[in-house]
Each structure stands twice: as structure tokens, then as C-alpha cells.
Structure 1
């Protein structure tokens, strides 16, 4: 937009108004001056008042040069507030404003002057380094009009110091927001506005936007999409708070039970964000070398009939996902290699993974579940090649997911109580290739149809397995029978408002600086 405006209106004269004028401005900056003139004049004419005024800018269009930016489009143009001058008739002032986050654009993470900058704590800090240079380059006050990080399970960008866009707990969200605000204050900005008050279910992000239904995002909570979870006020039900207690499951119908063996009962439930599993087991038979697995069949005519993690275990229906929980190993969700959208897109289509070839249905292979973080790039200032970056989002984290608990961890995926014999798991819908749980829409057959593939289902099918050293110990139900779990569609999601842990962290900090 900036480049096109400059090209079309190359001969546009400098703007001169009652409140603003320009000098050495490009056409877009002249247009902005005219728009601010209009706003102030409108306020004066209609309300006999005026307010401080600014236009929102972004690091990709700031007035600085960024030799480390690997994308030409992200450092193509500048919109310089310094070319716009206010007159004495503007009584309320003109200020610069930028949305500044610590993890993107990429130059923030690779510009040596930024990542080597020493902040007021005596620590390296790329965020403070960028703020320092940006604020000094302006002749007017500068407000950071947006800053923050999301408390989400899914991640989209890394920061070299751990202030990532996603996979941050609510407590970490609060601590990082406080840190960023301290940097904003210490580097001399006029102020900062935290983004944001409440979660926004309608949002999308680049590494999940092709995996869900864009028209149905507001109807469910996608904890894998970080853009939805910048708020310090959340909307959720936690229908089965993850805390290892059996009481909340007492009114949930059990899918299967048995008297003999280590596995005693299997139950499933859901809400707007998660699919929940509860497995009761005989604690007297359990030892730390055992592994519990939940087998899921979600899409018809696909999946693996054999599971490589347990010898001689076969199913008539194909298994699309395996949830593995053990005491000794990393725990994760596995996806059938044929039903892996990450492998299909970044391996087969974009050729960013080594030796990625087409996959046959029912090939007996499962993959970990991954999200892309950045595509391959070269840093112009150093010539350093940065390979394709991704991470395993299917890894599962043990902890307490009940907000009422003092041990609450918003990133917890499962909890196991060996004394009472209870395993609870919650899996985000998107991790199971569900595009819209409110309408039971899932990702379809991606190899012939691509990521646009979509199907609607009536239920998913579940089986539980206990194994040791890849030997089958017990199965519920036995003989590899898959039990259906279904749920009602919805047009109005259930939710409750909850102030996140980050709210208290930020509140405590603000009270210290206000002296209250």
C-alpha cells in the first residue's frame, strides 16, 4: 500500500494544514498528515475539543534500516513520523506509536546490535535494544501501542531469550509482559499498551490457519492458535479440570469397564477446547516401565491396522492417532504418517524436509506432530543460513490443569495418580486434525485433496492399551474392539470467564509502580 501510494502520487505536494504540515515526506506520509488534520478538525467542529493524536506503525515500516532482515518485503518501505510536523494550534500533541513484540519481525532476533544490547538489568535483550534505537530516532514521544505474548499451547515464533509467541504458560505470560513493560519504561518510551484484555477466538495464525475452518473459528477455542490467547481474561469451561480426581467423572458414562487386568475403566468427554480421556487402572499392578496408550480412529478408510509401539497388536479399523503416556519416556501424540498435514505440506509439497516422499495409506508408520516456526532464510548482514525451523507440538506435558489448584499449569496435558490409579489426558481438538468440533468437521484425505480436504463425522473410536517393553499387557476393550464416542453439535459454545494467572502477576507489578 505504501509503495503503491508513493508511485501513483509521486508528485503530490507537501501537505499544509492548520494543525499539521509535512517536510520531505513521501505520498503516504502526506496522506497520513491529511487524515490526522481531518480528525482534529472534526473534533473541534463537532465537540469543541481535541485529543493527542498518532497513527499506528509497525517495525516493518519503521524509519530504521535493518540489515539483518531476511525478507525484502519486511523492510521494503518506511513510514516516518518525523516528516510530519504539528503546529502551535494543536494543543494536545502528536506522538509516534508502534506495535512492538519481542519475537517478530525476524531482524529483531538476528540484528547483532539488538541481541547484544545490555539492558538496565545488565542482561542481553533484543527487545530493549530495538526500543533504544527506535525511541532515539524520533523527535516526538513514542508509545508502544501494542506489546505482549500469548498464553497458548501452540507456538508460532521463537525469541532468542525465550519470550516466544506461544507455548508459554499463564504465569510466564504475566512475567514476560511485566518484563517488556519494564523495558518500555526504562528505554524512555512515553508509555505502553498491553495486548490484550481478553482472548479472541476468531483469530488465526500462519502455521495453523490452513488446518481449521476459517468460518467457524469463533465457535470453539483453539489452544493451538496463539493469536487467540493473548488475553489476560480467558473464556473456557474446563469441563474436566485436569487434577487427578475421580469425582468429576462420576456422572460421565464409562465407555468400557472390566474386572480383570490392569485397565479398569475408560471414559471420554469434551468441551469447546479439548477432548478428555480418563483411564482407571489397578495401581497395585502398575510399574514405571509400563506405558498406557489411547488408540484413536477418527477418519474412515485410513489409518494403520498395526501399531509399531506394541508387538502383534492389530486393529480391523485403521488407527489415526496414538496417545502414549509412560513414566520413563517422552510422552506424545503420534499421527498416522498418511494423515500428517505437517509432513504433507512442508515435506512433500514444499520440500523443506529431507527425503520426504509420498506416503501410502496403512504403511504402519506414525509421526510426531509438528508445527512450523520459520521457513529457511539467509541473514543478509552476515550471510548466515538459517534452516527450516519447527518443533514437536505433540509432546505432552505432565501437570495440574485445574485453575483452582495452587499447582496449576495452563500448559498441562495429562496427570497421572499412581496411588489412586487414575490417568487423565486432555488433547486440543486441532492436535487430532479436527477443523471444527462444533460441527464435527475433520481434515479429510489430504494426499488426493490437499489441506482443503474436509469430512464430517458422527463419532470417533477409542481403545486403551497397557504395554511393557512393547509387549501387550492389557487392552480395554479386549480383542482390539474400538468403542464410539460422540457429542452434540453446537452453535453457541459454553464458556465461563476467568482471569488468568497473568492478571495477578501484572496487577502486582502495576501496584508497585503506582505506589498503591
Structure 2
């Protein structure tokens, strides 16, 4: 059992360090354990420092209820009451200004009396730090303020948000720009898709118009919103219209609802002529977008006497370009001799279109096109440009030609620093699988491509890592889905886009993979022994093969192991195998590989083979492999004595055929089993943010992502177990065994010992009990923010571009 942490003490340590967002979660964890006056008091101080005074006041009173004699708590209540009263009497001047326009080629900003070109260097900002979901609006004013400072220091001139944020965001931005800042705003207006696919339904139109009016009012610092589940609330008093670049209406519209609406309306092409927006030969959906945009500009004009530049979101799935390499889903299956699914809608990537080039403003500050464009999705982003030296630039240049002189920005682009790849890219710009250095370089090259293509700017995705997100390859294995925000899946690309890491544990990494023994003081010993190995070869490598101790610990993202030996690690003389049982020791594979002749007392699900920097890997028993068994919907370890172990793989790209059926594009399969040697200490010469294991003199440390060993939710101790109606199974913990062996020079097999077993040593020894590593479930995760190396690298790319 992992040694318990005093979360109250840790929370007050975080307060002293100025880590107030992290302190909020630490005190929440403390309150989950026991509701004490001290924990409520610390929780209140954290919110006080984040300028969330109502929550701070509530927490102080909860503390006072438990400890009514506390003078210190009462003093904090009096002070926060004074701050709340001062804010109630404050006011901010309303300027009602528009200083930007997007009429041709690029954005322009009014400086004095002169319009000057502005290349947009933006960052996308989400809503959900670890332990929260977007609709909870967990970011506080103090965090926004600190982040704006960082954004400007890194060279960003704009922040893009997807929806209306709470008043704290606009207050922080207003005050930041009033003092010394120069950070502009791209204000998004979120829109869920209509339940019935009817964009023109009265109820849906009322919903969209309400989203628009609330966002516009929020930007102009006007109005109050009541508390509603999933929406921001509070009084908006800060007018940030002078620093607002424009409004972006909607989301990545999906092809199926767009197709349904166009079909419902007869697919007629018509012109649309509103008071502000003209659409030429638009589809029904394009004309609907035109009417929505016209409503926004009309509302802004009538209420505030001015209008901002306007856009909606498009993406390659709906772009107006023709992609020869992308056939319809139905045609693709037919050519491959597979049965065609006819019911429902197939999400085809190049059938429907939304063409922002058809939109023009009759009056106002302009209409600009916004695309979310990643280099690896859809597949035609690769397959159309396989012979091009710069595929992403080629795509952007085609967009530029399509739009003529209409300004175009790329509202989302970037690569994640996840361990695994979720989409393949011909030039290596994959969806994941990049360390932080490579993430910064690729993001920078994409931003340079945006500029070279003549676009108006870009917004890299994203500012910080968000744990609640799910990628298509992993979403079926992150269960229960409503607990996804409580743990970090390093495998999942969607959770790893940030330039600011939200990394498990506090105050720093639990394990830095640097040989630091102090990091293992609180680890749980799974097995230990003294004395000689089971077999001596007398070849100078016996000490390296003598196992001494196996220990484990964990945090919200990883399971950590440390294997210690008596002598210095030497992979030429010693290989090591660690077998893991993650649930139910009666199920799994019982026979170890590599000619060891070892039968495990536990049913093992995974084998870790440590044999050097180039060949170390983790293997899975075949019945428990997702890649092999997903189609038959049975993924559980069974019971086997065959000694069969396989590498784990993912298929990020399926097979495709071109529109004319003459060219085939193969599926792409990438391994997940390879283990990278390196250190997580930024000052170490072997630093690599994707490192899986580190070798010191007499120890090997491992960082194993929960998702890699198929935990669907470590916070509730749940593992993948698809069997009949069963999706997951609860585990009581993790058990492990370890072996060492002398490798044959030409293979990975064990050199025979001449005895029944070819293992040189084992932990535990035969007949010894195996310690179960278990932990207390959690409902609040601990984490810490740090700036990834990618941020500084990306900053250097931004410096090359015009302001």
C-alpha cells in the first residue's frame, strides 16, 4: 500500500509556493478524506489568492462552523468581505470600440489613425484543468492573469477561446491590457448540434441566438447571467471590445448533420442577401450560416453601435477543395468486397462542403475564414500530397488560392506530446508520439507554413493539457467515461496538446527517472531478498543478474517500478523480465518467454523485457490485446500455459482508395510496445519527455502509463475486461514477478543453466508470497503545471514572424 500523504500540509506548502490552482485540488483531496477546519481554511485561502472571493468566503465560513473560536478565520472573512464590497462599488469605462478589420488578405489594427497589417499569432485556451470538465468553469481570475503574462512573454498576440467564459476571464484580460499588456481576443461562440439535425428549427434557432447575444454582451461587459448547469454565470462589467479581433460562430460542423440539412432543404443553391452578410450560390447550410452571422452583426450594431470582424469554423472535412485520394466510405468498402452499412449516415470526409469564400460583408469590419487544419487528419491531408516535399504547405496554399483575397486564419493546428500515435503523417508530423522538443519544432514549422502560404495567422492548439479529452483510438477504453478527468492518459493524444503541461502529482514529478533514491523512500516493496542468485555462471555478470528488490508506487498518470540488482546493470550479460498481473491472478498467461522454463504462480497480463536502449519493450498476452481482439469484442486474458506473448499495436489509419478507384493507400499500424530509455530530469544529458525507463548503476526505474497496461480508470481501480456484457472489472491491485537471465549472444533467449529453470534469479523466490500493490481510490486528482520545452522552441519560431 502506498504510504499516505498529509494533504493538508501539502496544500499549505502549495500556498507558500504560490501554486494556487494546484492547492485547490490538494485541499479538495484533503476534504474528501476528512472535513476539517484547517482544510476548509486552506481551500478558502487558495480561492482568495485566485480572486474568487465568493468561494473563499464560503470556505472560510465552513471552517468557522467547525472552529468557531478561530480569530484567524474571522479575520480572513472580514478581509474578503471588504474586497467583495470594494468590487461591488467599482466600475470600468465602456469604450464600445472596434480597432480591427479583416477586409482583404489579412487583419489590420488601427494604430492612432493608421491601419496596419497584423499577423495573428494566437493560442487556443481551454476550460478544464485536471479534475474538471469544461462546463464547470474551474479556472479562476488569478490563473487567467498569470497565463496572460506567460502568453505575451512567449510571443503570442492573441488568445482564442471557444465559448463565453465567466466574467473573471474578461476582467483579467481587461486589467492585463490596461496595465501593460497587448493581448487580443478571438471570441468563439459554441454551438451544440441540433438533436434532430434540423438547424432551422425554432427551438434550435432560439438556442443559437441566445448563445450569440450572451457572448456579444460578455465581450462588451454588459449584463448578468444566472446560474445554469453547464454555462457561465455572473455579472459582466469589463468591456474588452477594443481588444477583440472578431467573433467566430459555431464549432467544427460535422458532415452528417450538414448533409441531412442540405437534403432536407432540397440541396438548392441560392444567393442570400442580409443586412450585413451576402452569400453567393450557397447551399442551404451555408445560407443558414449567413443568416446566423447576419443576426450577430445586427445585434452588435443595434445594441453597441459597432461591428467586429466575423467568421465561422470550417475544417478539411467540409472544406471546398476536391480531394482525389478520398473516396466515399460506401465506395471504399464496396471496392474491398466488404458489406456496406446503409442505415444511418457515414461520416464521409469529402462529400459535403462549407465554403467561407462565398461570404462577403456588405458593411462592417469584414468576414474572415477560420479553418481547423491539422497535417494528419483526414487521411487526404497525407494521401493527396504524398509526393510533395511540404504537404501541409501545399494544402494551405490551395486554401489560399480558393479564398482569393479573403483573410484566412488556421484556428487550430498542432501536434501532441503523447506517448502514442493516433494518426500517421508522411513526413513524421504524426498525431502524437513526439517528445516536447519535437512538438515545439513541428508546431513552429506549421506556423511558418501558415505565414508562407499567405494566410492571416494561426492559433496553435493548445495552451494546457486537458485530461477530460478523448481520442478516437482510446475513447472506448477510458471507462467509466464520467471519470476521465480524474486521471491522465499519457497514451491519448488529445490529452497532450498543451504547451503547458498538467502533469500528475505535486509538487513535481513523483519519479524523474534519474536514479534519485529519495524519490523511492515511500515506495511499496513488492519483493526483496539477500544472498546469491539462483544460478551462478561465473562469467563476470552474476552480480548484474542478482535481483535484490522490486518496489512500486503510483500517481494519477503512471505506475512506477524500480528493480534493484546487487551489481551494476550490464545488458550484454543480463536481461530482465517483469511480469504484471493487473487483475485476477487466476487468469492470464502463466508461462514466461525467452526459453526461461518459468511457470508463474500468477496469471500475467503483461511482460516487460528490459534488454537495452534499442530493444526493451512491453508485451501482452494475445487474448488481452486490443488490436487483435477489438473486432470480436472480447478482450480479456483468458487462461493460458502456451508462453505466447505479442507486441501491442494500434492502427491509426485504415486502408483507403482514391475516388477513381485506381490507387490504394495502405492502413498504418504503429507499435506501442517499444520502451524508450532516458531521463525526465530536464538537466540530465539523457532528458527525453517520452522516456519509459532509466538505468542507473544498480537499478532500473520504469514509468508505465496506466493506459498502456489497460487501466480504464485507475482512480476507481478499474481495468479493461470485455467479456460478454462486461466492459471492465474492478481490481484489488497489481502483482509482479521479476526474473533475470543470461542472454544468448545472437538472440534474446536465455542461455540454458542445465537445470529445470533457465532464470538466473527470481523475485519473489519460489514459494515466497507476492505482495499486492494497492492504493486508495480518489475523486480529486493532484497535479502540477510546468512549461514544456516545446513552448520555448515555439517562441523562437514566433520571433521570426511579423508582429
- TM-score normalised to structure 1 length: 0.91
- The reply to whether residue 155 of structure 1 matches residue 433 of structure 2 is no
* Aligned counterpart in structure 1 of residue 489 of structure 2, from 201, 222, 227: 222
Q: Is the 8 A contact 1:101 1:146 kept in 2?
A: yes
Q: Match of 2:694?
A: 415
* Aligned counterpart in structure 1 of residue 711 of structure 2, from 407, 410, 434: 434
After TM superposition, list the pairs within 5 Å mapping 1:137-216 onto structure 2: 137-139=402-404, 140-213=406-479, 214-216=481-483
Structure 2 SS opposite 1:14: strand
Higher strand share: 1
Q: Which moved more, 1:56-65 or 1:478-487?
A: 478-487
Instruction: Mark the CA change 1:66 to 1:387 in structure 2 (over 3 Å): closer, same or farther.
Output: closer
- The reply to whether residue 327 of structure 1 matches residue 612 of structure 2 is yes
* Aligned counterpart in structure 1 of residue 623 of structure 2, from 338, 357, 369: 338
Displacement of 1:256: 2.4
Measured in 1, the distance between the counterparts of 2:695 and 2:703 equals 12
Q: Is the 8 A contact 2:270 2:281 kept in 1?
A: no
Q: Is the 8 A contact 2:624 2:637 kept in 1?
A: no
Higher helix share: 2
- The reply to whether residue 134 of structure 1 matches residue 413 of structure 2 is no
Q: Is the 8 A contact 2:589 2:637 kept in 1?
A: no
Instruction: Mark the CA change 1:151 to 1:284 in structure 2 (over 3 Å): closer, same or farther.
Output: closer
Measured in 2, the distance between the counterparts of 1:77 and 1:287 equals 56
* Aligned counterpart in structure 1 of residue 573 of structure 2, from 272, 289, 307: 289
Kindly tell me the number of residue pairs found equivalent between the two proteins. 493
Structure 1 SS opposite 2:412: strand
Q: Match of 2:260?
A: 4
Displacement of 1:250: 2.4
Measured in 1, the distance between the counterparts of 2:594 and 2:426 equals 35
Q: Match of 2:735?
A: 461
Structure 1 SS opposite 2:290: helix
Q: Deviations over 1:391-410 (max 9, x none)?
A: 11121011112345454211
Instruction: Mark the CA change 1:179 to 1:482 in structure 2 (over 3 Å): closer, same or farther.
Output: same
Q: Match of 2:378?
A: 105
Q: Match of 1:19?
A: 276
- The reply to whether residue 30 of structure 1 matches residue 287 of structure 2 is yes
Q: Match of 2:759?
A: 472
Q: Is the 8 A contact 1:33 1:84 kept in 2?
A: yes
- The reply to whether residue 492 of structure 1 matches residue 780 of structure 2 is yes
* Aligned counterpart in structure 1 of residue 657 of structure 2, from 363, 366, 378: 378
Q: Match of 2:675?
A: 396
Q: Match of 1:233?
A: 500
- The reply to whether residue 298 of structure 1 matches residue 298 of structure 2 is no
Instruction: Mark the CA change 1:69 to 1:45 in structure 2 (over 3 Å): closer, same or farther.
Output: same
Q: Is the 8 A contact 2:581 2:603 kept in 1?
A: yes
* Aligned counterpart in structure 1 of residue 552 of structure 2, from 251, 268, 271: 268
Measured in 1, the distance between the counterparts of 2:573 and 2:613 equals 7
Measured in 2, the distance between the counterparts of 1:70 and 1:426 equals 42
* Aligned counterpart in structure 1 of residue 720 of structure 2, from 421, 440, 443: 443
Q: Deviations over 1:45-98 (max 9, x none)?
A: 2222221111110111111111111444110111112222211x21x1111111
Q: Is the 8 A contact 1:74 1:105 kept in 2?
A: yes
Structure 1 SS opposite 2:640: coil
Gap regions ≥5 residues in structure 1: 118-123, 351-356
Instruction: Mark the CA change 1:96 to 1:463 in structure 2 (over 3 Å): closer, same or farther.
Output: same
Displacement of 1:22: 2.0
Q: Is the 8 A contact 1:246 1:422 kept in 2?
A: no
Measured in 1, the distance between the counterparts of 2:772 and 2:447 equals 50
Displacement of 1:231: 0.7
Q: Which moved more, 1:66-75 or 1:128-137?
A: 66-75
Measured in 1, the distance between the counterparts of 2:326 and 2:530 equals 63
After TM superposition, list the pairs within 5 Å mapping 1:43-82 onto structure 2: 43-72=300-329, 73-82=348-357
Measured in 1, the distance between the counterparts of 2:569 and 2:782 equals 39
Measured in 1, the distance between the counterparts of 2:571 and 2:672 equals 27
Q: Match of 1:361?
A: 639
Instruction: Mark the CA change 1:116 to 1:391 in structure 2 (over 3 Å): closer, same or farther.
Output: closer
Structure 2 SS opposite 1:192: strand
Displacement of 1:466: 0.9
Q: Is the 8 A contact 1:376 1:387 kept in 2?
A: yes
Q: Is the 8 A contact 2:270 2:282 kept in 1?
A: no
Q: Match of 1:243?
A: 514
Instruction: Mark the CA change 1:287 to 1:82 in structure 2 (over 3 Å): closer, same or farther.
Output: closer
Measured in 1, the distance between the counterparts of 2:682 and 2:327 equals 41
Task: Name the Cα RMSD after superposition.
Answer: 2.2
Gap regions ≥5 residues in structure 2: 1-256, 330-347, 533-545, 744-749, 751-757
Instruction: Mark the CA change 1:27 to 1:256 in structure 2 (over 3 Å): closer, same or farther.
Output: same
Instruction: Mark the CA change 1:413 to 1:285 in structure 2 (over 3 Å): closer, same or farther.
Output: closer
Q: Match of 1:513?
A: 801
Q: Match of 1:311?
A: 596
Structure 1 SS opposite 2:476: coil
Structure 2 SS opposite 1:244: coil
| Structure (1 or 2) with the larger CA radius of gyration | 2
Q: Is the 8 A contact 1:56 1:98 kept in 2?
A: yes
Measured in 1, the distance between the counterparts of 2:761 and 2:263 equals 71
Instruction: Mark the CA change 1:202 to 1:291 in structure 2 (over 3 Å): closer, same or farther.
Output: same
Instruction: Mark the CA change 1:162 to 1:448 in structure 2 (over 3 Å): closer, same or farther.
Output: same
